[in-house]
Amino acid sequence: MSQNMSQIQETKIVSADATALGVFGLSLVTFVASTQKLGWTGGTIYLMPWALFLGSIAQIWAAAVDFKRNSYFGAIVLGAFGLFWIAVTMHWAIANGLFGTVPAAADTKQFGYACFGYLFFCCFITVAAFEANKAFGIIMVLILVLLGSLGLQLVGVNPGLFGMTAAWAEFSIAMVGFYASGAIFLNTFFGRTLLPLGAPMGWIKKSG
């Protein structure tokens, strides 16, 4: 008696590593935004395209790819910051009157408390970042400084000091990020380490 054997064919969809794109998006938007904080440029209305397309869409796109690749760290971190920059873009759009007159009751301190919320979450991310590579760890430490300083500035605590601290932290994020995105791109393209990102710290070992 013959038996018909059915074969199950699995199709695996391979996605390229989009981390370089996501980190570049973060670097570009922090670079442009830092020029406003440092007083090199003025206003926020022309920051919005960079925040929307590079800060948010590029990072969310990269996060979506990382979800498909089961890259947990990149998916969560890039996704979280992509959403952050959408909210920042909306904040600037409202402040610039693009949705009509800004109500007198509008309180920018709420943005400050949002920075504190991200600060709390980024404390956990920073631990994992140092176990990815040192470049990511440095970026996350600078992000902690940025979020803490910006939050304090927005709630009215020594705005001059913390505003300038936030500006230079943001600028530094961009510089380290440009290096990291370039290193990831070249290392991935050539399949070997051309530009080092720094070995993981090895403080906490993953199970399995």
CATH fold group of domain 19-97+106-190: 1.25.40
* pLDDT band, very low/low/confident/very high, at 6 (cuts 50, 70, 90): low
Average pLDDT over residues 135-158: 98
- pLDDT for residue 207 is more than 90: no
43's torsion region: left (phi>0), alpha (psi -120 to 50) or beta?
Answer: left
Task: Note the pTM of the prediction, 2 decimals.
Answer: 0.91
